[in-house]
Amino acid sequence: MNTWTPSGDDEGFELTPMIDVVFLLIAFFMTITSEITEENIKIEVPIAVEAQVPEERGVRQTISIDASGNIFFGARQLAPDELADAIRVSLENSPDTRVYLRADARTPHRYVQDVMQATANAGLYDLIFATNQE
């Protein structure tokens, strides 16, 4: 009596490419969602005629400060004492993180100083200030 035993040639359905696509879609939607929500924070950045566009390198984390002094890390509002911890976590995940600081032109300077101090306390010294050229 002949009995059939699997020979191992039939590997079945390959999940690896599908998993890769799912991870790419997750990363894409996370990036797009953060970009859309960050732009919804109403900020009028200051004018700087001599402003230059920074070179693109590494991960850029956006910190926004509105005219009232509210601080947003990405789209999430944080207290000033929570900001350093959030930056540390970002640095642990991606050591080449840069901070893109969007502060409203009417923001009191003490709030900008608080954010700069929090980034320094977290060990991040690479800041880019958002400005308009006109």
Give the count of domains, the chain. Answer: 1
Where is average pLDDT lowest: 7-11, 59-63, 112-116, 122-126?
A: 7-11
Residue whose entry in the numeric block shows the structure tokens 């977290």: 122
Report, as an integer, the average pLDDT of 42-56. 76
Rounded CA-CA distance 134/49 in Å is: 6
Rounded CA-CA distance 123/59 in Å is: 15
Q: Per the domain annotation, does 6 fall within a domain? A: no
Q: Residue 67 belongs to what domain range?
A: 42-129
pTM score, whole prediction? 0.64
- The predicted pLDDT at position 131 comes to 82
Q: Per the domain annotation, does 125 fall within a domain? A: yes
Q: Per the domain annotation, does 7 fall within a domain? A: no
Q: Per the domain annotation, does 83 fall within a domain? A: yes
Q: Which two tokens stand for residue 33?
A: 């969602």
Q: Per the domain annotation, does 66 fall within a domain? A: yes
Q: Per the domain annotation, does 59 fall within a domain? A: yes
Q: What percent of the chain has pLDDT over 70?
A: 85
Per-residue pLDDT for 37 more than 60? no
Q: Per the domain annotation, does 80 fall within a domain? A: yes
Strand order, beta sheet including 76-78: 76-78, 71-73, 60-65, 98-103, 127-129
Assign residue 56 the CATH number of its domain.
3.30.420.270
Per-residue pLDDT for 48 more than 80? no
Per-residue pLDDT for 121 more than 60? yes
Q: Per the domain annotation, does 17 fall within a domain? A: no
Report, as an integer, the average pLDDT of 31-52. 69
